[in-house]
């Protein structure tokens, strides 16, 4: 069935077909016009108030983390992965053959030079000493007798009672016996020295390692392993490489007689283990890596460094006082060069071109374009433009007080 307006009108009762709409349409039209006019007036007034206040449309603030540019000394470091190397490492060996009777140290003990570490059975060498002393007593008696005979022969030769050859023979016998006594004295000294070697002492001060031979074993001079290893811990050194391009700067500082500080950090560069100084530079450059090795010395009084430990060494080669320093994440790079976002007193961001002097260890030294005390955006700069309002937030995990110090007026 097809519906038409005429067909629909047929369903309206007579007398009402003109309808409410035909009588009051002007009222609806007037209400719509009034609403439109009112909305337009309100919009114009809002724009007028904003224009009077000099403000544009309200935009949300961008949360950022800012830090203050500081005037401080900027240190230049050269870093390298090095290993802790003792100044002295000694493998203690026996100097005589014999049975190891006693071990007088504990594994890992700190010993001093001259401390007795072990004892070897001394009885065989005591017997040798007794034999040498007995041989010397016999030779001394023979020498005295020969000397008396020599005196008699000299008197008889003066009286022309004996031949000159007999006198010469007696003189030779005396000299032979004198030589025998010296040999006997050497045998005695050797036996006494062997007795000294029966007590094995520490040649250096340091930490003893694990025991290599147990008591009761027969030890020999030719044994390859030795008895124990002693490592000197105080002082101790760190050997680390630096690029060959940095060598002239280091050598110039060494020639001037300056003491170059060296810091030892753990592998993650989070914890500083010890502070020492540069000791020496190797005499050649490694052609395969283009680096040269340096040795730094540390007092290691608290045993912070352990032999063969890997550490990150930082050599301080230059300190520039009065530099303007900011965190390096604040630096931004664009087609026009390097710039930072500076937080102004009205809490808006401004683009500021800067000239970077050096970047070191998460910090950057600014040569031109920034003054100490100004706030620069460290985190959140990717959402900023010139004039963007900012909302200063603390670093992640921090509190409001951890935001960079704000100068007066912020």
Contacts (Cβ under 8 Å, ≥6 apart) of 341: 64, 330, 332, 349, 350, 351, 352, 376, 377, 381, 384
- In 212-289, where does DSSP find H-type helix? 247-255
Question: What does the pLDDT read at residue 402?
Answer: 38
Handedness of CA 265, 269, 272, 276 (dihedral sign): positive
Question: What does the pLDDT read at residue 48?
Answer: 59
Sole residue written with tokens 């062997």: 194
Question: What does the pLDDT read at residue 81?
Answer: 94
What's the number of CA atoms in the CB half-sphere (13 Å) around residue 148? 5
Length of the chain measured in residues:
410
CB atoms within 10 A of CB 166: 13
Rounded Cα distance between 384 and 388, Å, is: 6
62-73+322-402 folds as 2.40.420
Question: What does the pLDDT read at residue 184?
Answer: 95
Give residue limits of the domains in the chain: 5-52, 62-73+322-402, 77-87+231-320, 122-197
Task: Split the chain (410 residues) into runs of 10 and give each run's mean pLDDT.
Answer: 47 49 64 71 62 55 90 88 95 95 94 95 95 95 93 89 89 94 95 96 95 94 93 95 92 88 91 94 93 95 93 90 89 89 90 88 86 90 87 65 44
122-197 folds as Helix Hairpins (1.10.287)
Question: What does the pLDDT read at residue 400?
Answer: 38
CATH assignment of 77-87+231-320, given 3.30.70.1170, 3.90.1150.10, 2.40.30.170, 3.40.50.920?
2.40.30.170
Contacts (Cβ under 8 Å, ≥6 apart) of 252: none
Q: Are 236 and 305 in contact (CB under 8 A)?
A: yes
């Amino acid at each position: 069935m097809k519906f038409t307006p005429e067909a629909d009108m047929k369903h309206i009762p007579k007398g009402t077909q003109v309808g409410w709409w035909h009588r009051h349409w002007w009222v609806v039209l007037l209400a719509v016009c009034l609403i439109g006019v009112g909305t337009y007036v309100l919009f114009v007034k809002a724009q007028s108030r904003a224009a009077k206040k000099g403000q544009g449309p309200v935009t949300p603030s961008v949360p950022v983390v800012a830090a203050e540019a500081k005037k401080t000394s900027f240190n230049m470091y050269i870093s390298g992965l090095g290993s802790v190397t003792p100044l002295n490492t000694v493998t203690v060996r026996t100097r005589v053959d014999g049975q190891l009777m006693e071990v007088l140290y504990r594994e890992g003990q700190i010993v001093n030079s001259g401390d007795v570490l072990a004892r070897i059975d001394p009885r065989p060498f005591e017997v040798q000493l007794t034999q040498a002393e007995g041989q010397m007593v016999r030779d001394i008696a023979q020498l005295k007798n020969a000397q008396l005979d020599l005196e008699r022969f000299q008197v008889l030769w003066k009286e022309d009672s004996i031949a000159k050859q007999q006198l010469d023979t007696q003189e030779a016998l005396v000299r032979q016996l004198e030589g025998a006594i010296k040999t006997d004295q050497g045998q005695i000294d050797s036996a006494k020295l062997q007795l000294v070697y029966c007590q094995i002492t520490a040649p250096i001060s340091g930490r003893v390692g694990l025991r290599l031979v147990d008591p009761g074993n027969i030890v020999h001079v030719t044994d390859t392993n030795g008895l124990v290893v002693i490592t000197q811990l105080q002082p101790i050194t760190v050997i680390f490489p630096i690029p060959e391009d940095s060598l002239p700067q280091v050598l110039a500082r060494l020639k001037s007689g300056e003491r170059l500080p060296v810091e030892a950090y753990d592998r993650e560069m989070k914890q500083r283990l010890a502070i020492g100084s540069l000791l020496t530079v190797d005499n050649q450059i490694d052609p395969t890596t283009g680096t040269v090795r340096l040795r730094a010395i540390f007092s290691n009084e608290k045993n912070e460094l352990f032999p063969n430990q890997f550490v990150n060494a930082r050599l301080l080669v230059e300190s520039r006082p009065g530099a303007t320093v900011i965190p390096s994440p604040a630096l931004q790079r664009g087609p026009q060069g390097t710039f930072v976002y500076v937080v102004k007193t009205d809490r808006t961001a401004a683009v500021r071109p800067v000239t970077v002097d050096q970047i070191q260890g998460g910090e950057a030294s600014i040569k031109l374009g920034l003054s100490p005390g100004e706030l620069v955006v460290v985190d959140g700069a990717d959402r900023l433009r010139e004039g963007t309002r900012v909302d200063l937030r603390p670093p992640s995990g921090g509190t409001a007080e951890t935001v960079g110090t704000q100068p007066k007026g912020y």
